[in-house]
């Protein structure tokens, strides 16, 4: 999702010499292949968007997969980029790097200031390691590798598999299928009280290109819209966008993660960037994309 959005943003900004590979073409878990690829292509800049991602159920069920694959991908790419002479890189992290109960909104300085949310701790530790890899290569080798921490994302090319998707894609699919079946109720995990911030992936992609163009050399940059809402509220909005008129039922026996996750984006805003896509417009476009692609809900 993120990688394709960055490619769209680069094309929109006039860039033409863009190098991409699918996982079938290049497995980032294989160090030798990654090293050979980067030496052969010799890119000037890298956007490292590749990662194993998933929702609360996937993270909690498969922690070994999440920590191993993400550690391997970032280590292979960052070290191979250094060996290939790549001077600038943007690493995609996640807001889950911040402590579960840290003060809100969460600033970049709060990383490692307290315990992580247990349900996605393995993934968070892998992402923290990626940030430290960037810092370390900058310090020892004089590189300009920096990281962005996006909030909860949604948009085209998302994962709609109900076993491992994130909040919005799961809600969109549930509401769509409930509408088609004529259900009177739709089940939502948790109490509905947890607070979350949501950002359209095209906004994130624009922020990534913005930072790469503005001579950022190191550090962490939060990327969000600056507003959050409860899971109950976002569920109601999704139901309205989809056209599901039934009742929302909240399953309190299911996990719901950290009580609140709102990013402080002052650092990025001071550079001149702010999000542009409203939640309603973003959800409307995302739902239109969803219903036009059968592959999204054939899983």
Tens digit of each residue's pLDDT (9 = 90 or more) over 32-44 = 999 999 999 999 9
CB contact at 8 A, 166 and 58? no
Q: Give the residue from 203, 148, 169 showing the smallest Cα distance to 58.
A: 169
* pLDDT over 80 (residue 51): yes
Q: What is the DSSP string of 201-258?
A: HHHHHHHHHHHHHTT--SSEEEE--S--EEHHHHHHHHHHHHT--SEEEEETTS----
Tens digit of each residue's pLDDT (9 = 90 or more) over 228-277 = 999 999 999 999 999 999 999 999 999 888 889 999 999 999 999 999 99
CA distance 60 to 123: 10
CA distance 55 to 167: 7
Cis preceding-peptide flag for 225 (omega within 30 of 0):
no
Q: What is the DSSP string of 264-298?
A: --HHHHTTT------HHHHHHHHHHHHHT-GGGG-
CB contact at 8 A, 201 and 5? yes
Q: Once rounded to an integer, what is the mean pLDDT over residues 27-35? A: 98
Q: How confident is the model at residue 85 (pLDDT cuts 50, 70, 90)?
A: very high
Q: Give the residue from 269, 52, 254, 87 showing the smallest Cα distance to 159.
A: 52
The whole-number pLDDT of residue 55 equals 85
* pLDDT over 80 (residue 223): yes
Choice among 82, 98, 123, 160 that is catalytic: 123
Which two three-digit tokens encode residue 166? 């994130």
Tens digit of each residue's pLDDT (9 = 90 or more) over 160-180 = 988 888 899 999 999 999 999
> Element (H or E) spanning 64, and its range?
helix 63-83
CA distance 174 to 244: 10
CB contact at 8 A, 257 and 95? no
Tens digit of each residue's pLDDT (9 = 90 or more) over 126-165 = 999 999 999 999 999 999 999 999 999 999 999 898 888 8
* pLDDT over 70 (residue 296): no
Tens digit of each residue's pLDDT (9 = 90 or more) over 54-76 = 888 889 999 999 999 999 999 99
Q: How confident is the model at residue 100 (pLDDT cuts 50, 70, 90)?
A: very high
Q: How confident is the model at residue 295 (pLDDT cuts 50, 70, 90)?
A: low
Known catalytic residue at 82: no
* pLDDT over 70 (residue 219): yes
Q: Once rounded to an integer, what is the mean pLDDT over residues 114-132? A: 96
CA distance 71 to 86: 20
**Mean pLDDT over the full length of the chain:** 95
Which two three-digit tokens encode residue 292? 């036009």
User: How far apart, in Å, are the Cα atoms of 123 and each of 30, 144, 154, 265?
Assistant: 20, 24, 19, 22
Q: Whole-model pTM above 0.85?
A: yes
Q: Once rounded to an integer, what is the mean pLDDT over residues 185-209? A: 97
The whole-number pLDDT of residue 299 equals 53
Cis preceding-peptide flag for 105 (omega within 30 of 0):
yes
The whole-number pLDDT of residue 289 equals 94
For the four alpha carbons of 211, 214, 220 and 226, in that order, the dihedral sign comes to negative
């Amino acid at each position: 999702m993120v990688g394709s959005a960055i490619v769209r943003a680069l094309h929109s900004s006039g860039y033409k010499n863009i190098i991409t590979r699918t996982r079938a073409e290049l497995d980032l878990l294989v160090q030798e292949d990654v090293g050979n690829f980067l030496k052969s292509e010799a890119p000037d800049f890298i956007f490292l968007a590749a990662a194993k991602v998933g929702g609360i159920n996937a993270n909690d069920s498969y922690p070994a997969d999440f920590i191993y694959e993400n550690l391997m991908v970032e280590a292979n790419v960052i070290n191979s980029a250094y060996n290939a002479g790549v001077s600038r890189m943007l690493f995609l992290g996640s807001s889950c790097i911040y402590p579960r109960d840290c003060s809100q909104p969460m600033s970049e300085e709060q990383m490692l200031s307290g315990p992580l949310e247990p349900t996605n701790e393995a993934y968070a530790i892998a992402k923290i390691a990626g940030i430290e890899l960037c810092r370390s290569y900058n310090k020892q080798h004089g590189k300009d590798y920096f990281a962005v921490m996006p909030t909860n994302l949604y948009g085209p090319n998302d994962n709609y598999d109900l076993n491992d998707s994130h909040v919005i894609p799961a809600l969109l699919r549930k509401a769509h299928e409930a509408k088609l079946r004529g259900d009177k109720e739709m089940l939502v995990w948790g109490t509905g009280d947890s607070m979350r911030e949501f950002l359209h992936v095209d906004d994130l992609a624009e922020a990534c290109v913005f930072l790469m163009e503005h001579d950022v050399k190191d550090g962490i940059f939060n990327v969000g819209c600056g507003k959050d809402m409860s899971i109950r509220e976002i569920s109601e909005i999704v139901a309205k966008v989809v056209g599901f008129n039934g009742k929302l039922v909240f399953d309190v026996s299911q996990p719901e993660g950290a009580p609140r996750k709102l990013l402080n984006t002052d650092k990025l805003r001071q550079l001149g960037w702010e999000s542009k896509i409203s939640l309603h417009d973003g959800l409307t476009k995302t739902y239109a994309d969803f219903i036009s692609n059968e592959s999204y809900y054939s899983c």
